[in-house]
Amino acid sequence: MSLDIQHIRSQFPILNREVNGQSLVYLDNGATSQKPKVVLDTLDTYYEKYNANVHRGIHTLSQEATDLMEESRRKIQAFINAKHDHEIIFTRGTTEGINLVSNVLRNVLTAEDEIIITEIEHHSNIVPWQLLCERTGAKLKYIPLTKEGILDITKLDDLLTDKTKLVCVNQVSNALGVVNPIEIIIQKAHEKGAWVLIDAAQSAPHTPIDVQKMDCDFLVFSGHKMYGPTGIGVLYGKEDILNALPPFHGGGEMIKDVTMEKSTYACLPFKFEAGTPDIAGIIGLGAAVDFINSIGIQTIHDYEKELVDYTIQRLSEFEEVEIYAKDAEHSGAVSFNLKFDGVHSSDVGMILDKKGIAVRTGHHCAQPIMQHFNIPGTVRASFAVYNTKAEIDTFIDGLKTAIRMLG
Taking CA atoms, 212 is separated from 24, 81, 87, 218, 298, in Å, by 40, 7, 12, 11, 18
Per the annotation, the verdict on 133 as an active-site residue is: no
How many Cβ atoms are within 10 Å of 351's Cβ, its own excluded? Answer: 18
Q: Out of 133, 168, 216, 365, which one is annotated catalytic?
A: 365
Taking CA atoms, 2 is separated from 204, 241, 321, in Å, by 22, 42, 32
Separation of first and last alpha carbons in the chain: 37
| Residues designated catalytic | 365
